[in-house]
């Protein structure tokens, strides 16, 4: 087990989501660096401030803010951090995110409205009726997510291979699309350390299908290819965006591949000659999930069915805007 450098501090910031706390990482030294932020809620901001205060810092001391991807639990407080530095008469911090996720940060409000429309659309196309999701509307989702973040217009883009300086040495950008199109890992080879964001998590799924509306590829397949990009770094300590560190990278990658292979097999076993909606199939695969997990389940189930269709093991047809799937006769 490798030791994490003393200059790296994990700050656990609460989120309103089922995943629980997000891990934000402060790296001492110059530039004082924070990786990810938590959501824009009073509780999250207070906990982040308290964590920094315990280390002798304020929000306004952050010089470099690196966002591992553009999801709200990782970017929500970015604008407040930028303003806090200005309030002390200092230059705004460098706020950095991969180019593929820039719109999520630079135009948060516009992107969120578009994303919530996509959520409403996938609920409809999956066959979710109003009684299946009482009170869950595009308007409600938009209002909820808009409250948890805001735009940072001067965010700067990162690309594969960029190198950032930090108090523990260089952080090299490894682009790992899947969980989001702009997901990155930050590789610190000097200490055999990887900040993985949500690309790989120790005991829960990374939800590889959420970007169903921003790519024509099947996000799950993109994600699985990106997992392989980590394998050369086996033996490194992985500091993920949620939960505990990972010390056996290859084992965890193998576990994830087995998990998605099992879900694919279950999806195929669920199909028969009678057409079923994506929603009906998702309930077989994921069980009695709650409303907070509905979009995740529908998106991932859609990916599984598209993969089966690509393999010639399923047929998908759209009738009046609703997608139905059934088995293909041998």
**Would you kindly state where each structural domain of the chain is located, as residue ranges?**
8-118+143-257
Q: What residues contact 89, with CB distance under 8 A and at least 6 apart?
A: none
Query: How far is the C-alpha of 4 from the C-alpha of 210, rounded, in Å?
Result: 31
What tokens appear for 135 in the block? 């009170």
With b for 16 or more beta-carbon neighbours within 10 A and e for fewer, the 217-239 pattern comes to ebbbbbbbebbebbeebeebbbb
CB 177, CB 100: distance < 8 Å: yes
Predicted pLDDT at 194: 97
Distance between CA atoms of 268 and 253, rounded to whole angstroms? 23
Nearest to 158 by CA among 184, 197, 179: 184
Contact 180, 174 (CB under 8 A): no
> Tokens representing 246?
């990972």
pLDDT at 2 (0 to 100): 55
pLDDT of 1: 43
pTM: 0.94
Cβ(273)–Cβ(327) under 8 Å?
yes
Q: Is 185 within 8 Å of 198 (Cβ atoms)?
A: no
pLDDT of residue 330: 53
DSSP assignment letter at 329? P
pLDDT digits (tens, 9 = 90+) for 71-84: 999 999 999 999 99
Q: Is the peptide bond before 31 cis (omega within 30 degrees of 0)?
A: yes
Q: Measured at the alpha carbon of residue 206, what is the angle toward residues 211 and 20, in degrees to the nearest 5?
A: 110
Q: What angle do CA 229, 246, 49 make, to 5 degrees?
A: 105
Fold of 8-118+143-257: Metallo-beta-lactamase; Chain A (3.60.15)
Give dist(CA 181, CA 159) in Å, integer.
12
pLDDT in tens, the chain (330 residues): 455 788 999 999 999 988 899 999 999 999 999 999 999 999 999 999 999 999 999 999 999 999 999 999 999 999 999 999 888 888 999 999 999 999 999 999 999 999 999 999 999 999 999 888 888 899 999 999 999 999 999 999 999 999 999 999 999 999 999 999 999 999 999 999 999 999 999 988 888 999 999 888 999 999 999 999 999 999 999 999 999 999 999 999 999 999 999 999 999 999 999 999 999 999 999 988 888 889 999 999 999 999 999 999 999 999 999 999 999 865
What's CA 277's distance to the chain center, in Å?
26
Beta bridge partners of 173: 186
pLDDT the model gives residue 3: 58
First to last CA, the chain: 50
Read off φ and ψ for residue 115, nearest 5 degrees.
-65, -40
Query: What is d(CA 271, CA 170) in angstroms, rounded to the nearest whole number?
Result: 49
> By C-alpha distance, which of 314, 292, 320, 290 is closest to 302?
314
């Amino acid at each position: 087990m490798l030791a994490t450098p003393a200059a790296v501090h994990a700050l656990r910031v609460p989120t309103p989501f089922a995943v629980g706390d997000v891990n934000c990482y402060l790296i001492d030294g110059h530039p004082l660096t924070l990786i990810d932020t938590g959501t824009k809620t009073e509780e999250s901001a207070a906990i982040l401030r308290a964590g920094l205060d315990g280390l002798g810092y304020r929000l306004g001391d952050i010089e470099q803010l690196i966002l591992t991807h553009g999801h709200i639990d990782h970017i929500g407080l970015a604008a407040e951090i930028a303003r806090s530095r200005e309030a002390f008469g200092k230059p705004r911090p460098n706020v950095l995110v991969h180019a593929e996720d820039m719109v999520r940060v630079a135009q948060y409000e516009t992107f969120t409205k578009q994303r919530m429309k996509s959520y409403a659309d996938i609920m409809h196309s999956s066959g979710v009726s109003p009684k299946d999701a009482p009170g869950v509307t595009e308007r409600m989702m938009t209002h909820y997510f808009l409250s948890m973040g805001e735009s940072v217009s001067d965010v700067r883009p990162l690309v594969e291979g960029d190198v950032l300086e930090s108090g523990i040495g260089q952080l090299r950008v490894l682009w790992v699309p899947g969980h989001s199109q702009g997901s990155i890992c930050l590789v610190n080879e000097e200490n055999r350390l990887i900040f993985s964001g949500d690309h790989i998590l120790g005991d829960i799924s990374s939800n590889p299908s959420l970007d169903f509306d921003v790519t024509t590829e099947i996000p799950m397949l993109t994600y699985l290819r990106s997992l392989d990009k980590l394998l050369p770094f086996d033996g490194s300590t992985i500091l993920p965006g949620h939960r505990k560190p990972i010390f056996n990278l290859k084992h965890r990658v193998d576990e994830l591949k087995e998990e998605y292979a099992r879900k694919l097999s279950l999806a195929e076993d669920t199909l028969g000659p009678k057409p079923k909606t994506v929603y009906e199939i998702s309930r077989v695969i994921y069980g009695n999930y709650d409303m907070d997990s509905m979009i995740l389940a529908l998106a991932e189930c859609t990916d599984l069915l598209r993969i089966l269709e690509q393999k010639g093991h399923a047929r998908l047809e759209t009738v009046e805007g609703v997608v139905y799937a059934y088995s293909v006769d041998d």
